[in-house]
Amino acid sequence: MSGDKVTNYLTLLKIRRAAFHRNVIITGGIFLVTILATIAFGMLSQLNGLSVYLLAGFNVAFLVSFITAWVRLEIVKSNIDLLNNL
């Protein structure tokens, strides 16, 4: 690879890192809000079987989304480190 291509790809990866960092913050915030809403809903009303499954489903979905965004961010960070060391 020529130096110009590596530099351009490194610039693209830095842009992607900023976007994935934003996604981690957004999904982490949404996950935190759903956990707090679950706790508040549990304190304010009685949870029956259907409500527990529904809230647990939302919490798991947002947790998986947060972990996916975090893993993508770490992959981009490792690619940036790799290109910096080449």
* Terminal-to-terminal C-alpha distance of the chain: 11
Query: In angstroms, rounded to a whole number, what is the distance separating the alpha carbons of residues 66 and 27?
Result: 5
- Write phi, then psi, for 63 (nearest 5 degrees): -65, -45
Residues of the chain falling short of pLDDT 50: none
Per-residue pLDDT reduced to its tens digit, 37-47? 888 888 888 77
Per-residue pLDDT reduced to its tens digit, 73-82? 999 999 999 9
> How far does Cα 13 stand from its chain's mean position?
17
At residue 30, the pLDDT reads 95
Q: Which tokens hold the place of 75? A: 């992959």
Q: What is the DSSP letter of 62?
A: H
Mean per-residue pLDDT over the chain, rounded: 90
At residue 2, the pLDDT reads 65
At residue 41, the pLDDT reads 85
